[in-house]
Chain A
Amino acid sequence: MMWILLGLLAWIAGSALNVWLARRPRSRATSLAVPVVFGVTIIVVWEAAVRGFGISPVLLPAPSVIAARMASSGSVLWEDFVQTVVKGALTGYVMGCLAAFVTAIVVDRFDFLRRGLLPVGNFVAALPIIGTAPILVMWFGFDWQSKAAVVVIMVFFPMLVNTVEGLRDTSAMQRDLMRTYAAGYWTTLLKLRLPAAMPFIFNGLKIATTLALIGAIVAEFFGSPIRGMGFRISTSVGLLQLDLVWAEIVVAAIAGSAFYGGMALLEKAVTFWHPSQRG
């Protein structure tokens, strides 16, 4: 009963604080504080609800239990992180994005290819590519190579479509200017079209970050060595160790957010000139 009251109190206090903060003139501090208050409130209410209503840890463990689990099985989490994120997702991400980038430049050079490949690429990007995971696991074995292969296929098409779009994003006037400077194809590409394509390329890179993590984890459901986040999640669910599952989810969420945030920071540094960044 005490916990339920505390939860209600935290809820009221949190929302009152947020309403007050939102009424204040918008500044950097308030726009950072409001979501933080929102998140902290949710965690407190969650904890209070689990304790107050006596929800079984098999269904939903309390945040404190998850935190304790993260502290006690750090080595397992780290091993899974290296296997899935570093070896599977990151390798595949780099290979897939590079391959798509090179393909995009070739496609852009030949108009026939562009007109043929772009509709196909757009179509494939909308397909449930994750379904190829069992096939790739069959081809490349259970270890991280097959996970990287799934990631390569998943990130390839969004990246390709975005890069090709980006390479077309120069005006005729800009290209004419380069011609008056007697710039050849490669100089125009390096000095004008690639920099102009950067906002699109980073859009593709950012979409690909979440796809890469999803691909690497889901591919492990179809067979994996006895480590990896997907493996741990599916086996721990069977053992009803929900606290370990949630610990893996927290790691995945942090890894995903950091990956995305890192790309966003890089974007800010590279495309500082773009209107959306100057705002």
Chain B
Amino acid sequence: MRNLIPVLTVVAVIVAIWYAAAVWLNAQWVLDTAARQDREIGTSELVLETWSQDKPRLPAPHQVVTELWETTVEKNITSKRSLVYHAWVTLSATLAGFAMGTALGVALAVGIVYVRVMDMSVMPWVIASQTIPILAIAPMIIVVLNAMGLSGLLPKAMISMYLSFFPVVVGMVKGLRAPSRMQLDQMRTWNATQGQEFLRLRLPSSMPYLFASLKIAMAASLVGAIVGELPTGAVAGLGARLLAGSYYGQTIQIWSALFMAAIVAAAMVGLIGLVQRLTLKRMGMA
């Protein structure tokens, strides 16, 4: 809580800069229309008009907040104009991809820790796989999977999966190897089987690592779902709102979709943080 005042100050400064930038970026348009209508324009009028355009270059914060309010609270949730509906479309793909990515990541990590060949052959390729800008080929994956008859949720979820399995693999390998030599030897003196060693020692000690990776994986998986929505012809989802907004110059719509994505990301990461705190407390680690 000690950080509350500095954080609020920084946020206030950012909002102030935003308002100033809105004036600066939108002023030209206001001046042009005023010149065309042959009317004089004072400074205060100029400022007010830059903050209330229909299609500004940079919408003022209150315009974005108003749009967010109108498209979430005042619209029916099932309506295609409701941002909640679009957020849900994106979120469902994100969660599906996140679940698949986590499962794949944990499975790979267990294999890497227990099988030496996998450790030596797969691990370098897992790392190399992430230097490929997968987001760049996301559209192709979507189109190819569409051609194979897969459409809707699954292709997007697969891109999310590809992005989210990597942090989980890296974190879990580290976590499963976290027990010290001494602890492993102790398990052996108790004549523990490999299964017991895994369940009673390795898995519990990997939990802090797992949760740290899950947070990164969730953020990555949301990005994957949003980019996965771009090439499907802007049907539904936050990515589609972004693309449609950029086609028709609806800047306020772009910004509100962006804020919605931020809210969803923050909520999901916060939720994982909560589960983490509860779990680690139960386990006596926090």
Within 8 Å by CB of B10, from A120, A132, A249, lies A120
B6, A116: Cβ atoms under 8 Å? yes
B120, A22: Cβ atoms under 8 Å? yes
Q: Mark B103-139, 1 if CB is under 8 A from A, else 0.
A: 0000000000000110011111100101111111101
Contacts of B124 in A (CB 8 A): 35
CA distance A256 to B127 in the complex (A): 12
A234, B139: Cβ atoms under 8 Å? yes
A181 within 8 A of B: no
B131, A256: Cβ atoms under 8 Å? yes
Contacts of A249 in B (CB 8 A): 132, 136-137, 140
A138, B249: Cβ atoms under 8 Å? yes
A218 within 8 A of B: yes
Report the nearest A residue to B59, measured CB to CB: A135
B230 within 8 A of A: yes
- Closest CB of chain B to A272's CB: distance in Å? 22
Known A19-B117, A139-B57: A38·B122 in contact at CB below 8 Å: yes
Known A116-B7, A131-B226, A252-B133: A221·B258 in contact at CB below 8 Å: no
Contacts of A132 in B (CB 8 A): 258
CA distance A237 to B191 in the complex (A): 58
Within 8 Å by CB of B140, from A30, A214, A237, lies A237
A59 within 8 A of B: yes
Contacts of A237 in B (CB 8 A): 139-140, 143, 231
**Interface size bucket, B side?**
35 or more
A189 within 8 A of B: no
- Closest CB of chain B to A203's CB: distance in Å? 13
Known A128-B226, A134-B246, A234-B231: A221·B139 in contact at CB below 8 Å: yes
Contacts of B30 in A (CB 8 A): none
Within 8 Å by CB of B117, from A31, A34, A259, lies A34
A218, B227: Cβ atoms under 8 Å? yes
**Interface size bucket, A side?**
35 or more
Contacts of A58 in B (CB 8 A): 147
CA distance A132 to B261 in the complex (A): 11
B136, A127: Cβ atoms under 8 Å? no
Q: Considering residues A137, A237, A242, A260, which has the most beta carbons from chain B within 10 angstroms of its beta carbon?
A: A237
Q: Mark B141-160, 1 if CB is under 8 A from A, else 0.
A: 00110011000000000000
A112 within 8 A of B: yes
- Closest CB of chain B to A220's CB: distance in Å? 9
Report the nearest B residue to A38, measured CB to CB: B121
Known A18-B117, A126-B269, A127-B265: A134·B242 in contact at CB below 8 Å: yes
Known A112-B6, A229-B136: A135·B251 in contact at CB below 8 Å: yes
Contacts of A217 in B (CB 8 A): 133, 135-136
Residues of A at under 8 Å CB distance from B?
15, 18-19, 21-23, 30-31, 34-35, 37-39, 58-60, 112-117, 119-120, 123, 126-128, 130-132, 134-135, 137-139, 209-210, 213-214, 217-218, 221-223, 229-230, 233-234, 237, 242, 245, 249, 252-253, 256-257, 259-260
Apart from A116-B6, A116-B7, A249-B137, what are 14 other A-B pairs with CB-CB below 8 Å?
A22-B116, A30-B120, A115-B3, A116-B8, A120-B11, A126-B265, A127-B265, A131-B242, A134-B242, A214-B135, A214-B136, A234-B231, A237-B231, A260-B131
Closest 7 CB pairs of A and B: A116-B6, A134-B246, A116-B10, A217-B136, A256-B131, A38-B121, A35-B124
Return 15 A-B CB contacts under 8 Å, by A number: A31-B120, A35-B123, A38-B121, A120-B10, A127-B262, A131-B226, A131-B242, A134-B246, A135-B254, A213-B136, A214-B135, A221-B231, A237-B231, A249-B137, A257-B128
Residues of B at under 8 Å CB distance from A?
2-3, 5-11, 14, 25, 57, 116-117, 120-125, 128, 130-137, 139-140, 143-144, 147-148, 215, 219, 222-223, 226-227, 230-231, 238-239, 242-243, 245-246, 249, 251, 254-255, 257-258, 261-262, 265-266, 269
